[in-house]
Chain A
Amino acid sequence: EAQVTQNPRYLITVTGKKLTVTCSQNMNHEYMSWYRQDPGLGLRQIYYSMNVEVTDKGDVPEGYKVSRKEKRNFPLILESPSPNQTSLYFCASSLSGLNQPQHFGDGTRLSIL
């Protein structure tokens, strides 16, 4: 089944404790991206990747890192999480860019205390 898989689905952690949210897609997609969704603000792009080893900042990249060492994986790293990063996070992928359907994972709900 074609899908985007995120882990973990839920995480409660404390300020400053490094964490990684994994994202994997099995559709051989070139384009992958991360979003956060907050009440009243909608979906905002954090980082995106056009292909392996090619990443770039989205609209709200501060406090986040990403890497794209393999085509299928695009982990999101919070080196020193803070409470303002408490949010619902989505990973998405598409064949080769944004002018195509985006396939989203089911989300990761992060709570930073």
Chain B
Amino acid sequence: SQKIEQNSEALNIQEGKTATLTCNYTNYSPAYLQWYRQDPGRGPVFLLLIRENEKEKRKERLKVTFDTTLKQSLFHITASQPADSATYLCALGKYGNNRLAFGKGNQVVVIP
């Protein structure tokens, strides 16, 4: 069965540095991949979507890459700020399959 892996250990990073999160998957060939941010007690908030024919997507200080050979997506937050502290979820999907498969999330803590 499909498996989506995000690091269960929190990423502690100094303010101003680049935070990099990994989303690995097996037994799955997603057509697109999404990243969400979730704060405690709140619902996930959409950040970026990248499709299988795209290598990289950017939005302000965020960058996502998608490597279908490595079966991996990397999520980068450049010039990280304490306000970036949250849990980040990756989600994978296929066209014609009405299910989004979510990873368990990876917490980021930005230290001032």
Question: Could you list which residues of chain A lie within 8 angstroms of chain B, going by C-beta atoms?
Answer: 4, 35, 40-45, 48, 50, 56, 58-59, 90, 92, 97-107
Contacts and interface: CB of A to CB of B under 8 A. Distances in A.
B43 interface: yes
Given A102-B34, A104-B44, A104-B45, A42 B98 contact: no
Given A42-B89, A42-B104, A43-B89, A102 B32 contact: no
Given A43-B102, A98-B98, A107 B46 contact: no
B111 interface: no
Contacts of A59: 99
A45 B44 contact: no
Contact of A45 (B51, B99, B103): B99
B61 to A, nearest CB: 18
A101 B99 contact: no
* Secondary structure type dominating chain B contacts: strand
Contacts of B97: 98
B105 A42 contact: yes
23 contacts: A35-B102, A40-B104, A41-B104, A42-B104, A43-B44, A44-B102, A48-B99, A58-B99, A59-B99, A98-B97, A99-B31, A99-B32, A99-B49, A99-B51, A99-B95, A101-B34, A102-B36, A102-B44, A102-B100, A103-B46, A106-B42, A107-B41, A107-B42
Given A99-B49, A99-B93, A101-B49, A45 B104 contact: no
Interface string B12-55: 00000000000000000001101010000111111001010000
